[in-house]
Structure 1
Amino acid sequence: MTRPKLFLHVGLHKTGTTFIQRNLIVFHDELNSDGFFLPGRLGRVEPGHHEIAHLLHREGPEAFVDVVNDQRKLDKIILSAETFSAVIKDKNFWGPDVYGPLNSSFDVTPIIFLRRQDFMLESVFAQLTKFDRVGSHFKIPRYEYDYTRVVDLLATSFGEESVKVIIYRDDEKTDPWLEFCKAVGLDVDRYRSNTRAENSSGHRRKTLALSQIKLPDRASGRFLEAAMQMSDAIHNDEKKFLTPVENRAHILKENVAGNSLICDRFAVPAEAREFFTSSQVDESWVAPEPISDFEWKAFIQDLAVMASKSAR
């Protein structure tokens, strides 16, 4: 008996995952007509199958298989949640007891997007500013930037020939949604979106401003981030990185060999490989100017206007 095909998009974080998940909802009917089934999100309002990933971790592979098969109406399934990458990296959880039942029930094709570590370092810092968990963005655990371990786990679990590795490009030459479509065998022209993924973290001085606000909870962080993006009160200095040159150069040096090995193993296209294995960083870095009192006052005024409009 032929096993159902499961395309398991595991992230990583900060590689256009939310954009992909939103498009999966937008193109839900087209996907169904092409034979692809998207399981329900188990009560989650926002895009992504994070609750199914939590179920796998909390209750085990049998519960995961049951919840997917109980819903399944077609033999090609797409699950997408960057939470799966966290589950996979849990060395106390992942192993034959987990991937054995998954392989018995499904023909699994894992899909993973990888982002060059210097851009990831900056993006993770911007993300953490929303959740009041920054401290120092140079102290974020190093394993988040060593991609070889998670790729090795996917290859060991499901077979190296099954793993799809896609390089997330920060030079805006590729669209993560269209790359995802190619990975699952969809007609790119049929699924071409009218929008591109946007950098929701904004420019670096907005990120700096957010990092200096004491946030009581995640919802407040998201609200203030959205407000910051709508406001022009914080001046854009047109520079990309908050992270100094030496830190970005160091993290690239640490990981360039691993990146090259991944490219060799998974036949990464030449242009993407050149980008992913580069150890060159922008040497023109200067520290951002502190957020001025004038900018803070202007932002507070913008916040008051936004709050007034939303209350109407």
Structure 2
Amino acid sequence: MSLTERATRKTLVLHIGLQKTGTSSIQVMLAGSASYLDAQGFYFPDLPDAEADESRLSRSPFRHNRIAGTYADYPTSFQRLDQENMALFWRELAADPRIPILSAEDFSRQRDYTALGMALAPFDVTVVLYVRRQDLFAESLYNQRNKILLQRGSTDHLGEDFLTSEDLFAFLRREAYIPILNFTRLLARLEAGIRPVKVLVRAFDRATLEGADVCTDFCALFGWDAQAMSRPGHDANSSVSNQVLASVNEVFVRQGPEAAQLKIAQINQSFQAGEDLSGSYKVFPPQIRRTVQRQYADINAELHRRYGVDLTARNDQ
């Protein structure tokens, strides 16, 4: 590539999640801070107008999951944009003088980034990735699944093994999360397919995040004033404690699914009333936690060597 070509290329920021690393909070912040971002020469793009009424997602802070879903080579629940609107989207990004920021959890689930890389070829891409120590990340993913099923009123996952290490590992295998826990392979696939000019990897750990807050940390990466941004007043995707989940499971085991449904309805009423049901969601006993940490020790050492991110620090929920 010539120096002239490099000088005319636009920068694009690609925030690829992961799930349960403050991604929703960052997206809510970006979607609500258009004026400040504009003043800094950045923006959080809408989808093409032709897609605006297709779903509530198209105008939500999480709308870029439809971009990720369009290039998905994995099972996705997000509606794809058609070829015409996808081409329009990239033309609009190239024509706008501001730096676009794309953010979606589902970007991290891509198996092969070649197709997305071809779409991003006209841009100098800066990738942002927050990672979480694997044992804590696995527990958080499991808790998120349990929260979603609770809100849907499902009892299919309940039973004697619920909230055990065995059930958690079965969930990771079933949902194909285990390959994602190898962050170095994820980054290798991403760098091979997209060829970003910069990769910023940060540990989702309050002990090391700027201001002990992921939104503040994200702002610091670009020199933004975090206080000028419209940040969510609370976690945009909070957990639900194991104590709450265990209370449902106990009713299910002792009294059956109908009684559990009544318990779930009561809990969901509490959710809707704004009651805080978060709390500890640890599943692994100490011995298994240490085993998981040893399993990923070499991977995390390589992550530290290449990207300067340390996942060995204490990282409590």
> 1:228, CA displacement in angstroms?
9.0
- Distance (Å, rounded) in 2 between the aligned partners of 1:61 and 1:25: 25
- Distance (Å, rounded) in 1 between the aligned partners of 2:236 and 2:207: 13
2:75 matched residue in structure 1: none
2:138 matched residue in structure 1: 121
Residues 161 and 68 (structure 1), Cα distance of their counterparts in 2 relative to 1, 3 Å cut: closer
Equivalent pair of 1:38/1:77 in contact (CA under 8 Å) = yes
1:138 matched residue in structure 2: 169
Match status 1:230 vs 2:290: no
Match status 1:53 vs 2:68: yes
Deviations 1:230-273 (A, max 9, x none): 177xxx9x8652322233222211112111111110123xxxx2
Deviations 1:190-210 (A, max 9, x none): 448473537711432124346
- Distance (Å, rounded) in 2 between the aligned partners of 1:59 and 1:186: 31
Equivalent pair of 1:118/1:252 in contact (CA under 8 Å) = yes
1:180 matched residue in structure 2: 218
Match status 1:7 vs 2:52: no
Match status 1:84 vs 2:107: yes
Match status 1:152 vs 2:192: no
2:91 matched residue in structure 1: 69
- Distance (Å, rounded) in 1 between the aligned partners of 2:34 and 2:249: 37
Q: Could you tell me which of 195, 199, 206 is aligned with 2:244?
A: 206
2:120 matched residue in structure 1: 102
Residues 34 and 205 (structure 1), Cα distance of their counterparts in 2 relative to 1, 3 Å cut: same
Deviates more, 1:206-215 or 1:45-54: 206-215
Report the secondary structure of 1:246's partner residue: helix
1:306 matched residue in structure 2: none
- Distance (Å, rounded) in 1 between the aligned partners of 2:315 and 2:33: 38
> 1:165, CA displacement in angstroms?
0.5
Equivalent pair of 1:119/1:170 in contact (CA under 8 Å) = no
Residues 111 and 211 (structure 1), Cα distance of their counterparts in 2 relative to 1, 3 Å cut: farther
Gap runs ≥5 in structure 2 = 73-79, 150-155
Report the secondary structure of 2:12's partner residue: strand
Residues 62 and 258 (structure 1), Cα distance of their counterparts in 2 relative to 1, 3 Å cut: farther
Deviations 1:30-56 (A, max 9, x none): 101211122114541532211121123
TM-score by length of 2: 0.69
Report the secondary structure of 1:257's partner residue: helix
Residues 224 and 69 (structure 1), Cα distance of their counterparts in 2 relative to 1, 3 Å cut: farther
Equivalent pair of 2:42/2:100 in contact (CA under 8 Å) = yes
- Distance (Å, rounded) in 2 between the aligned partners of 1:239 and 1:125: 13
Deviations 1:68-89 (A, max 9, x none): 3336533300011111111x3x
Residues 77 and 281 (structure 1), Cα distance of their counterparts in 2 relative to 1, 3 Å cut: closer
Bigger relative contact order (CA 8 A; separation at least 6): 2
2:40 matched residue in structure 1: 34
% same residue: 25
> 1:122, CA displacement in angstroms?
1.4
